[in-house]
Structure 1
C-alpha cells in the first residue's frame, strides 16, 4: 500500500488521539483512586480525542478523501466534541476540589449549546441526501464556508474559553476556602492544575484567533495565516495532554475536598448573635484536650469533637475569632511551640522536633507562621528568650 494518508502535522494529531484514548481506557479500568474523578477525566480525554480526529477528517489532505468514501456524516459527528470537552474539564476540576461533587440543575445549562448545534445540524446537514453531501464536501474550501457557520464557530470557541475561565475561578475559590477547612495545606499543590487550565485557555484563545483570522482572510480580504495558528494549537495540545496524564496520576490524590456550595447559601447564620456558651465550649476543648496537636486535624474532625455542624463551627471561628480555621488552629500551635522553646530541657531539641510536638506537619508553615505571629524565627525566639533569662539571673 503506497497511498500516503498522513503528513508530519497529521502524525501529531494521531499521537494526541492515541494518548487520549489509551489513557481514558486505563482510567476506566483503574480500580484505585476516586472513581468519580477517573470517569470524568476519561470522558474529557475521549471528547478531546475526537477534536484532532475531526481536524484530520476535515483538513487532512489525503485522509479527507478516504473518509469521504466511507461516510460524509463523519465530517460532522466528531465536531460535537468541541462543545463537550470544555464542560467536562470544568466538571473534572470540580470533582477534584469538592469532597462530594454532585451535579446541580444549572450545570446542565452548559449542554444547551451542544443541543442547539445538533438541532441546527439535523436541519442543515443530516436531512440532505448523500449525493448532495458528497458534492458539497468534494468542492469544499474554507473560503466557501457560509457566514453563519463562521459565527457559530466563533461562538463555539468563545464558549470553550468561558468554560476555561470558570475552571480558573473554581481553583481560585478553592484556594481561598481551603483555609476554612484544613490546618495543613502544604501538601495541596494547585500549580500543576493551574498550569493545565491556563494551557487550555491558551489553546482556546488561539482557536478564537484562528476563527478571527478566517473572518479577516475570507470576509475582509485581510490575509492572516490561520493555518500556522492552528498548527501551534495542535502541537500545544500534544504537550498539554502529556502533562495532564503525568500529573493527574501523580497529584490528583493530594486534593483535600471542600464542601460544595449549595443552591442557596446559608446567610441566616450571620444574622443570629453568636452563642457565647458555644464559644466557651470551643475555648475549653482547645485548652484541655489540645486537638491542635493532631497533625491531621480538619474542621470536620474538630466539629465532631465539639458535636457541632462543621459549617456552624466555621461561622463562629470566622465571625467571633476573626480568623479562618487555618489561622485559628495554627495560632494555638504557635503558642504551644513558644512554650516548648522556653523550656530549658528543650534547649538542644531540634526545631523539627519542636514543630512536630506543637502539631505542625510542615516546616514551611511552622517557620512562616511563627515569624508572622511572633516577629522572630523559632531559632531567634529561643535564643533571645534564653539570653534574657540568663541576664535576669545574673
Structure 2
C-alpha cells in the first residue's frame, strides 16, 4: 500500500493520465464496444493506492469516458462493480499481508473475474456479443498486461523496501561505531583521572606531587571534553549562526596558530593565498582546517614542507593543503573521515571525521591525493557566497 499524501497524489495523477491515454488508444473496435486497456491502471490504482485513490480514479474514468465517447449506464455499472469487487477481494484475502508472488496471482485472477463479470453485465443490459476477439482483446491480453505490470510494481516496491532496510542497517552500524568509539576514547582519560585521584589520597604526599597530579588530571578532563565536543560537532555540524568568512584572514590566522608545532617538527610553511568570502561559522571553519593542517604537519616527523594555497575560480574558491610527509595507501585514503580510523599510532580519527562533516555542511567538496613516501594533498572547494548586510538594502 502506498503511504504519504504526495505519493498518493503522484500515483493518482500518473494513473489518471494512463487511463486517458489508454482510452485514446484502443486496441480493437467492433460494433458493440471499444476494447482498450483502461482497466489496468484503474485496478492497479485501487490495489496499490487504496480505496480513496481508487474512488478518485473511478471519477476520472467516468468523466473521461463521457467526454471521449458519451454517457453510458452500462459502463457506469461495470466500473462501479469492478471497484467494489476489487475492494471486497482485497479485504477478503488481506491483500497487504500476501507475499509478492500471491499478490501477482491474486491481481491476475481478480482481473480475469472483472473481465468476465463485465461481459455478463454488458450482455444483460444491452446487445453484446462475446466472440473470439472479445476473449483475446478484453480478457487474455489485459490479464497478461496486468500480470506484467503487477510483477513490475512488486519488484519496485521490494527494491524500495530493501533500500530502506539497508539505510537503517547503515545508520545502526554508524551508531554502533560511534558508541564504541566514544566509550573507548572517553574511558582512557577517565582511567587516568581515576588513577591520579587514588594517588592523591596518599598520606604525606608532597605539595609538588599534588600539583603535578592535579595538572595531569585537569588536562585529561580537558581531553575528554574535547572528544565529546568533537562528537557533538559531528552530530550537529550546522551552526545556528553563520557569517561571511574571509579565506585569507582565517588561513593566515591558522598558520600562526600552528607555527609552534611546525617549528618543533622542522616544517617549512609556504603560502599563496587569494582572498574570497564564503558563508559559514568561523569557529567550525577553524576547527575543520586546523585538524587537516595539524595532521599534515604531524605526517612529517623528520621535517618537510607544508603548502597552503587558495585560488578563486568561477563561482568557487579552491583551498589546497599539501605536505611532503609519509603519504597514504589507496585503502587508507578511501577510509579517511570514517569514525575511529586514523593513520597515526595513537590517533582516534575524530579530527578528520569532524572536518569532513563540517566541510560537507558548508557545501564544500573534498578530494584527497596521496602517495606513500611522497605526501598528501587535500583540496577543498567551496562556493563563493556572501551574506548581504540588511542595513545596506
Question: TM-score, with normalisation over the residues of structure 1?
Answer: 0.22
Bigger helix fraction: 1
Bigger strand fraction: 2
- Structure ranking higher on relative contact order (CA contacts 8 Å, 6+ apart): 1
The structure whose Rg is larger is: 2
Question: TM-score, with normalisation over the residues of structure 2?
Answer: 0.22
